[in-house]
Amino acid sequence: MDSSEPKIGQRFQQDTKYYRPSYVARGREKAPGPAAPRTIPLPSPSLTRGPTLWEALEKRRSIRDYRPAPLSLEELSNLLWATQGITEKAFGPWYRTAPSAGALHPIDTYLVVNRVEGLEPGIYFFEVVEFSLVLRRAGDFADPLAQAALNQDMARTAAVVFVWVAVIQRSRQKYRQRAYRYIYLDCGHIAQNLYLAATALNLGCCGVAAIFDDEVNDLVGVDGQEETAIYLAMVGKK
């Protein structure tokens, strides 16, 4: 094989994408950058409320219908901490709430915010270490995201949609082509934490892997090659 050709993990990632012909025909859309960076500090998570782990495991369900009420910023803070919050600033890799192969943490979190108190609608990036959000694009993206999620209406009615993006090289620099296996496992750990945290907060949550990959990539502003969306999760009031 020509060394310039994509290797097996890269081919798998690209060849298993879903494409909408009409979107491909008009060319991929590039997300504009923010006019000026805006960082929103998150409140500290509250770790004392809610059911026990065993009760949350028993009650966990995929919930697809949401009320129009917004999430509070405190609820969103708890959800983000549960998925990727730092639990110990140890020497070397900092420990998080979800495990990662080699402690490389190749998954970035973007949020499509529809209804969260204290946040304007838009697309945000989660800064794990600073525990803050950075506004990437302001505006209402509920409709284009629902279309990118194979027209699943829950992406439109959710209060917030988590978009998990794999930064491939973080894992590939150590694990080479096997990194693609580990990336999906890492994202699964994160998603289950979100499910359990949403259950503890009496919120609805549903993970979605059926997406037009590059339409989601274009929405959040990643290239779809070295950084690529792999999973969504909708969250809203039950």
10 Å CB burial of residue 14 (0-12, 13-18, 19+) is: middle
- Average model confidence (pLDDT) for the chain? 93
Residue 219 covered by a domain: yes
Q: Report the CATH number that the domain containing residue 169 is assigned in CATH.
A: 3.40.109.10
Model confidence pLDDT, tens digit, residues 42-63? 999 998 878 999 999 999 999 9
Residue 68 covered by a domain: yes
Helices (H), ranges, the chain: 8-15, 21-26, 53-59, 73-84, 142-148, 154-157, 168-175, 179-200, 213-220
pLDDT surpasses 60 at 2: no
Residue 26 covered by a domain: no
What's the total number of domains in the chain? 1
Residue 11 covered by a domain: no
* 207: helix, strand or coil: strand
Model confidence pLDDT, tens digit, residues 112-121? 999 999 999 9
Residue 103 covered by a domain: yes
pTM beyond cutoff 0.85:
yes
Q: Which domain holds residue 226?
A: 49-237
Residue 113 covered by a domain: yes
Residue 19 covered by a domain: no
Instruction: Report CA dihedral (128, 58, 117, 131) to the nearest 10 degrees.
Output: -10
Task: List, in order, residues 6 or more apart from 58 with CB less than 8 Å away.
Answer: none
64 band by pLDDT with thresholds 50, 70 and 90: very high
pLDDT surpasses 50 at 1: no
Residue 2 covered by a domain: no
Instruction: Compute the distance between CA of residue 34 and CA of residue 150 in angstroms, rounded to an integer.
Output: 27
